[in-house]
Amino acid sequence: MRIDVLTLFPEIIESYASTSILGIAREKKLFELISHNFRDFSSDKHKCVDDVIYGGGAGMLLKCQPIFDCLDSIYNQIDKSSSTLIVTSPSGQKFDQKLAKELSQKQNLIFVCGRYEGLDQRIVDQADLNISIGDYVLTGGELAALTIIDASVRLIPGVLGDAQSLEQESFSEIDILALMEKYQVSKKELQEFLDRTGLKTKEDLKNVKFIEYPQYTRPAEFRGIRIPSVLESGDHKKIFLWRLEQSIKSNALI
């Protein structure tokens, strides 16, 4: 995957994308990331990238010319038809794990990071996706782009050392009924489990959105606080059922 980021602050993008797991994946060429300062493309002699808003209104808007020209230079290097152009704004579609999964399978992602009051609508209209990372307003699109990049890139095969860590993390699609079979959960144990979690039937387990259960590391007791005893029991079925119960209980909280 190749990711291009159009930003006035490439250093923000570079700093995050060269650190930790993303940095290692980038070095291993599991994905490529190129940040472009679209100010470099401004035809204005003062390299201006923003202008006042037609019809009035507070603040400045990022204008078309530098961003369109920067995009053209990228489309000279990649196949435009295989690329996904993304803008971010508080009014976009809400980002989630499903969208991260979809984006992780794309060949080329291009992000345009807004600043000031945002982007001229003619830039937004070029985009395949307009994504919001939540109902709040950031000062710029860089954190939003990095959030989307981080959540998507870590789903590219090979990026996380241990692929298993993806299998049972929050929002992943888990076949709970298959796991019940794997752990040979008896009818009685299943019924007790349903009673404890307030689920009516086994079928309700299909609709459970998986949220990660509480996890602990050594020592088993720290400042007088002990880990739940079931985790030291060595009984894999009991541990599975306990974790699933915690997951379902945290589900009820979201």
Q: What is the contact surface with ligand SAM in residues (CB under 6 A)?
A: 88-91, 113-115, 117-119, 132-134, 136-141, 144
Q: Toward ligand SAM, which CB reaches closer, 91 or 233?
A: 91
**Minimum distance of ligand SAM from residue 182's CB (angstroms):** 40
Q: Please name the amino acid found at residue 166.
A: L
86 contact partners, CB below 8 Å, separation of at least 6: 109, 110, 111, 112, 127, 128, 129, 130, 131, 145, 148
Question: What would the two tokens of residue 204 be?
Answer: 């309700």
| Whole-angstrom Cα Rg for the chain | 23
Beta-bridge partners for 222: 225
Query: For ligand SAM, which residue has the nearest CB?
Result: 114
**Cβ neighbours of residue 68 under 8 Å, at least 6 residues apart?**
123, 126
Q: How far is the CB of 123 from ligand SAM (least distance, A)?
A: 10
**Rounded to whole angstroms, how far apart are CA atoms 145 and 86?**
9
Residue 17 or 119 with smaller CB distance to ligand SAM: 119
3-state SS class at 80: helix
Residue 37 vs 247, nearer CB to ligand SAM? 37
Q: Which residues pair with 37 in a beta bridge?
A: 7
In the complex, the smallest distance separating the C-beta of residue 145 from ligand SAM, rounded to whole angstroms, is: 8
For residues 65 and 92, is the Cβ–Cβ distance under 8 A?
no
Q: How far is the CB of 19 from ligand SAM (least distance, A)?
A: 21
Cα separation of 217 and 108, whole Å? Answer: 39
CB 87 → ligand SAM: shortest distance, Å?
Answer: 7
Nearer to ligand SAM, 119 or 180 (CB): 119
Q: Which is nearer to ligand SAM, 36 or 243 (CB)?
A: 36
Q: Residue 4 or 247: which CB sits closer to ligand SAM?
A: 4
Q: How far is the CB of 45 from ligand SAM (least distance, A)?
A: 25
